[in-house]
Amino acid sequence: MGTKKFVLLDIDYITQKGAAVIRLFGRQINENNRTITAHHKTFKPYIYIHTDNIILCKKELSTLNLSNIETVTKEDNGKTRDFLKLTLKHPHDIHKLKKELKNLKSVKEIREYDIPFYRRYLVDKGLNP
């Protein structure tokens, strides 16, 4: 399907085949001004954790049901720090994961777990409804 321009009016997510799918609602920009619904199936929920020992932390995390674990460098209050970005299958898994992460000795801090999935999409993609 081709590219279409539209004014974003609302956003949410639905579950299809066990995976979260971002759903965008808007009005198409052209002479007929039709409503449009777009789906983004590849955007995945994630959180960050801060640790002093990335190798030990990755070992502890390997027992959890995560889609992906990657090391990322981010600015944090004027300092450059390494974080682990934990990607999950579905947004409802985040709160369960947060409880499990609190029990891991290598995890110092859990970040961005409280940002709703659809809002994270808007921020990451630079969109404003």
For the chain, how many structural domains are there in total?
Answer: 2
Q: What is the pLDDT of residues 31-57, one digit of tens each?
A: 677 899 999 999 999 999 999 999 999
How would you class 45 by CB atoms within 10 Å of its CB: exposed for 0-12, middle for 13-18, buried for 19 or more?
buried
Backbone angles phi, psi at 116, to 5 degrees: -55, 145
Q: What is the pLDDT of residues 75-105, one digit of tens each?
A: 988 999 999 999 998 999 999 999 999 989 9
Same domain, 86 and 118: yes
Reported pTM: 0.86
Same domain, 36 and 73: no
Structure tokens at 116: 């709703």
Give residue 12's domain range: 6-42
